[in-house]
A and B are shown apart, each in its own frame.
Chain A
Amino acid sequence: MSEHLPILVVLIPLFCALLIFLAGVFQKRAAWAIASLATFLAFAASVKLLALATAGGRISYRLGGWEPPWGIEYVVDYLSGYVLTIISFIAFMIAVFSRDYVKKQVGLDREVNFYAIYLLLITGLLGMIVTGDIFNLYVFLEIASLAGYALVAVGKKKGAIVASYNYLILGTIGAVFVLLGIGHLYMVTGTLNMADLRGLLPGLYHSKVVLTAFAFFVIGFGLKFALFPLHTWLLSAHSLAPSAVSSILAAAVLKVNVYALIRVMFTVYTPEFIYNVVPLAEIFFIIAPVAILAGSIMAIAQTNIKRMLAYSSIGQIGYITLGLALANETALTGSLIHILNHALMKGGLFLIAGCIIYQTDIYDISRLKGMGRKMPVTMAAFTICGLSMIGVPLTVGFISKWYLALGVLEAGRWYFIPLILVSSLLTAVYFWRVIEWAYFHKAASEEALPGRKIAEAPVLMLIPIGIIALFCLIFGTAAFIPEEFARRAAEFLLGGI
């Protein structure tokens, strides 16, 4: 059975999404259980796949039995195994978290749709990761995006629908750009298989069509993962969506789109092309620092906790792109660890914000006074994720910054060191503010929240947060685990297949 895992990891959430629709006609309560089970199975399959890929190298699956250049191929290698595991893990955590959250913040009548669409989103994301066919990538991208638009609008917040609409318009532009890029590549090579493209393209690197295609890919995926000047949709979409959705959007959707760009950069094109033929690195060297600084500074200015987290995502994406541009193994390792890091901590932080909002309806940071005592577990998790975001040693955030910084030095671009450190400081400013309000200030008098005692969120919401926070620590102390996978993946990307 394990040879079918690459397709099963996509099929499980798909089947379960359909099952939820089907079952939802009769029994609405089963939705959560099916979604949790599906994401768990996908996670288990991902772990197994990662183990297989680590042991035996590239796993290829021929869909419908057709040979690769003609048929659709699914590929699990170091990189996709690594990202697959991260994304399916986060998806599982968020699914577990959602039970109580969705009941209250989304509403019972939309529960079935929520979970089914959520699973479709996961299907799209996992599909994007495993597919080795570039058009198939586009199809999964659109499945994930459509589910994403729908999920943003599912909440009760009024502005969310407009946010979703804007997300849809810009997201579709991005997807169409990707489609155009694929079309250009197909025009000159006549193939859609990534590995095949890699073999055919080098002779055409200076062809304008191939260059244009690359530009379309960068802009298209850049729009999807909120690369700095293309980030405007992210703020309202991430801050107004229900927190569980913000969490999956920030932790998984952004990451998978970054992954897709990495795939295109290193598997369809080659390091030789992206670093020597096109001035991608030079562009990223300008964009990434601006993104890092602007994201952090704007985050400081926010009073709404979810908006703060949304802005900080823009800065964090900047780190990942910086690592991509540096063109050495250490920096790329840092980038890949940062994908894990950001998935864990931003996913965790949005869930934590969800807990707070679920219990208190508080969005304003200054009203979190005394929350450390009222919601100790939640705030402890917040602190850990926050420290990881700052990059304090023994959290996973430090590891990614460590490798990024070493990569920066290796590339001889020492002037990015102050950038990394300053942005850490800025991050410390906006997180410490919350931590101080929560722990060291006396709670505001109860009149602020009439007739309501603030207590901890339900256990099923706390467990995922706790696990995520724990992993921030585990991967910060036993960092050789993610480092091993990330370094192998980086080696593999830069070294060629």
Chain B
Amino acid sequence: MASTVHHNQTHADVTRDVVATLGTPGRGYTLLLLGSVACFLVGLVTFLFLVKDGLGLAGYKPPVMWSVFITTFVFWVGIGHAGTLISAILFLFRSPWRTAVYRATEAMTVFAVMTAALFPIIHIGRQWFFYWLLPYPNQRWLWPNFKSPLIWDVFAISTYFTVSATFLVVGLVPDVAAARDKMTGWRQKVYQIFSFNWKGTQHQWQHYSRGYLYLAALATPLVLSVHSVVSWDFAMAIIPGWHGTIFAPYFVAGAIYSGVGMVFTLLIPLRKALKIEHMIGEYHFDNLAKLTLLTGSILFYAYAMEYFVSWYSGNTFEQTTFWRRAFGPMWWAGWTMIICNAFVSQLLWFRKIRTNLTALFVISIFINIGMWFERYVIISSLQNDYEPWAWGQMGPNWADWGILLGSFGWFAMYFLLFARTFPVVAIQEIKEMIPMPRKRGAH
């Protein structure tokens, strides 16, 4: 408990410090924000071109019908997972170290899913008919095909977005109220609205804490399901290299791994910028790093299994695929993924590294890159499936990179806005950790 909260920190301190992060932004922040908006605009323009002239602008080379877009889609969905894991699952486990970091990670989740949700629209051939994927009543009397993993995606992603967004907002209410009570003038009015007139009466707390618990309980299986569903986009297909039973757990582990990676990338600079080092400290990163180590090792195992199974199956299609992953024309991608994910994560066995923020930050960059490439490599299985005559190479081009860049801009934009507008540290949950002062001393 001691290390959760900075020693001799009072309730008032917590409120003060956190509310302090909501002040007017400095130049650095503004530049960052503008930068991310610019990136987003690049993506937007690229998208408009895709709609105008057709997907052909992107570097698609049959038989690889999916490329960077789906890669990035899966990447962002994955990022989301760490957030919900920390905020929901660790909440159920009453894990003390989560309180300081969960708000930021959960925000990350919501924005990551928002980013991911763009891709199903971007990557289809006739974007303007996207709504055909939804089961809405229409005069044709046509319904979507619920057997298609893509429809599962639609449901999984939209559910995931709604639920995690709700979870975030609900969690925010008391803290926004706290902020409100420190504010003056128009700010106060604004926060008053977002606090839904929260007062903190015993009745409010009674229903609130219960409801919050149930939300967490619902979100928990959701996290596990969403990336399983995404993994089935591949696993349900018959493509060698995709058609694997371990995909669901393997993807979920990967998702959390990549998510935590992103948490490092975001929090390490953030805590400095917002001067909340004393709230988010070594202790938290150490635990996060352990989580990374665990999921990283699961990935290690999964990779090993994939190769073993393909060899052991004696199935020539599988064998070819994995041989080419390691030694084919895209060997570099294959090894990037293995090194960044399976090997780099093993460094975290050492406490020294787990507690060295610079090291963690560097590693987190490797993780992000590695996990993007994992999806890229998986999709590259399409290059050499059953029909040798149709084999080909994938060749991303400016359009692919434009969209990728745009997605990062879009994500960063929202995250930055959030960090300055809402408490990135859960005020009331931290306070819960600090014992109330007593008149008659502690008993």
A binds B: no
